[in-house]
Amino acid sequence: CTSIVAQDKNGNVFHGRNLDYPHPVLRNLTMNLVFQKNGKAVYYGTSFAGYVGLWTGMSPNKFTISGDQRGTEHWWNWWKNVVSAFLFHRSPVSWLVRETLEEAKDFEDAVTRLSTTPLITGVYYIVGGVRAGEGVVITRDRKGPADIRPLDPLNGGWYRVQTNVDHWLPPPKKLNRRDVVMKKLDAVGQKRICKDKLYQVLSLSLVCLRTTIYTTLMSAATPREYTTILREKG
Amino acid sequence: PSPPTVVINLDEEPELRWLALKKVFDVDYLSKAAAEIIEATVPKWVHHAVIPIVKSLEKYIPPPYAGEIRGLASVLGGNLADAIILNFAYEFTAF
């Protein structure tokens, strides 16, 4: 997966994500979801039929969230996930996204919940808000945050990119999506960044892969523009 | 192309919320796709071995998800264990 949160010169925050998964059947199961209460939309998301959690979602006029897989565990640690889930009653990562979209009152509250709620396993949460500076990548361990990397536009940090590798580690040489995305974002520049440019970045050949199922573009300040595009063979 | 949109009414009972899928997706296709994903993710012998374990774990799943997964199982053809395995796909990939 690849997630980007970026802020333009006017303080508008944009959030885009590619969801990658090696089962093409998921393309036909992808759907946009509108969660309603009392006849009103309370939050939006994109998911797969048969799955109750969310990896991509938006609380309108508050914040947006995407989750990227974090694969730091060795396979023989699978039992820790089982113990976390059923003994400690920890939350699956996609259920915490839903709960946060439903309950958090603003960007700050969302970041606190996503950083501190105990989880079954690790993950990256990428969060975008509605005001300048409201953007962050949270690297999660089971118990809490391993790292929190907010936007820092005053010092050149007008975007954050997250793939499936910790940002402090070197990316894999064969599939270095992180550097490809950063190079393109630098070429676009903060003045010209917008949803269309974000889509172009997420469509680059080394970023949009054969396993990319969908791309979602969102900005919590303009909830009507929530867009998901199904990718055919990357 | 854009994916279809499904409205989930949170005022409904959790068991009924995901029945809205039937309006958008072919139920036979859904159940075959779910079986395909599980087959590709979980080795056959593991799948058979964990079915009774997964069923017994249902009581540990908190509301509203337990009810929602039960409702999904009915949409997918009534197999509760498979619906649970699908919904823990990320957490239990290694398993």
Do residues A104 and A113 touch, judged by C-beta distance below 8 A? yes
Which residues in chain B have their CB less than 8 angstroms from residue A102's CB? 10
Binary contact (A50, B72; C-beta < 8 A): yes
Q: Is A1 among the catalytic positions?
A: yes
Question: What's the confidence (pLDDT) of residue B57?
Answer: 75
Chain B residues contacting A via beta carbons under 8 Å: 1-11, 18, 21, 24-25, 29-30, 33-34, 36-37, 40, 57, 60, 62, 65, 68-69, 72, 75-76, 83, 86-92, 94-95
Distance CA A88, CA A119 (A): 9
- Number of residues in chain B: 95
Distance CA A64, CA A160 (A): 14
Binary contact (A23, B1; C-beta < 8 A): no
Whether the upstream peptide bond of residue B43 has omega within 30° of 0, thus cis, is no
Residue with the bigger pLDDT between A22 and A50: it is A50
Do residues B83 and B21 touch, judged by C-beta distance below 8 A? no
Question: What's the confidence (pLDDT) of residue A178?
Answer: 96
Confidence of residue A76 (pLDDT cuts 50, 70, 90): low
Answer yes or no: is pLDDT of A138 > 70. yes
Answer yes or no: is pLDDT of A151 > 90. yes
Question: What's the confidence (pLDDT) of residue A73?
Answer: 64
Q: What is the average pLDDT value for chain A, to the nearest integer?
A: 93
Residue found under tokens 């979209």:
A101
Answer yes or no: is pLDDT of B46 > 90. no
Q: Of A31-45, A178-192, B39-53, where does mean pLDDT reach its minimum?
A: B39-53
Do residues A125 and A65 touch, judged by C-beta distance below 8 A? yes
Answer yes or no: is pLDDT of A78 > 70. no
Confidence of residue A86 (pLDDT cuts 50, 70, 90): low
Binary contact (A49, B30; C-beta < 8 A): yes
Residues 122-161 of chain A whose Cβ lies under 8 A from any Cβ of chain B:
none
**Residue-by-residue DSSP string for chain B:** -PPPEEEEETTS-HHHHGGGHHHHS-HHHHHHHHHHHHHHHS-HHHHHHHHHHHHHHGGGSPTTHHHHHHHHHHHTTS-HHHHHHHHTTTTTS--
| A21: closest CA of chain B, how far (Å) | 11
Q: Of A3-7, A118-122, B89-93, where does mean pLDDT reach its minimum?
A: B89-93
Binary contact (B57, A93; C-beta < 8 A): no
The shortest CB-CB distance from A81 to any of B60, B69, B91 is to B91
Binary contact (B33, A28; C-beta < 8 A): yes
CB atoms within 10 A of CB A206: 13
What Rg do the C-alpha atoms of chain B give, in angstroms?
14
The shortest CB-CB distance from B8 to any of A23, A26, A35 is to A35
Q: What angle do CA A51, B54, A83 make, to 5 degrees?
A: 95
Strand A30-37 relative to strand B5-9: parallel, antiparallel, unpaired? Answer: parallel
Binary contact (B1, A53; C-beta < 8 A): no
Non-local CB neighbours of A101 within 8 Å, separated by 6+ positions: A35, A42, A43, A45, A54, A57, A58, A59, A65
Average pLDDT over every residue of B38-64: 81
Average pLDDT over every residue of B10-22: 97
Confidence of residue A22 (pLDDT cuts 50, 70, 90): confident
Distance CA A1, CA B41 (A): 18
Residue found under tokens 């009924």:
B16
Answer yes or no: is pLDDT of A128 > 80. yes
Confidence of residue A227 (pLDDT cuts 50, 70, 90): very high
pLDDT in tens, B54-86: 877 777 888 899 999 999 999 988 789 889 888
Average pLDDT over every residue of A139-157: 96
Confidence of residue A116 (pLDDT cuts 50, 70, 90): very high
- Which residue in A has a C-alpha nearest to residue B2's C-alpha? A229
Active-site residue, from A1, A97, A136, A201: A1
Binary contact (B86, A51; C-beta < 8 A): yes
Answer yes or no: is pLDDT of A124 > 70. yes
Question: What's the confidence (pLDDT) of residue A87?
Answer: 65
Answer yes or no: is pLDDT of A234 > 60. no
Q: Does A190 touch chain B (CB under 8 A)?
A: no
Confidence of residue A205 (pLDDT cuts 50, 70, 90): very high
First-to-last alpha carbon distance for chain A, in angstroms, is: 12
**Which of A26, A27, A30, A31 is the mutation pick for testing B, counting most B CBs within 10 A?**
A31
pLDDT in tens, A152-195: 999 999 999 999 999 999 998 888 999 999 999 999 999 999 99
Q: Does A29 touch chain B (CB under 8 A)?
A: yes
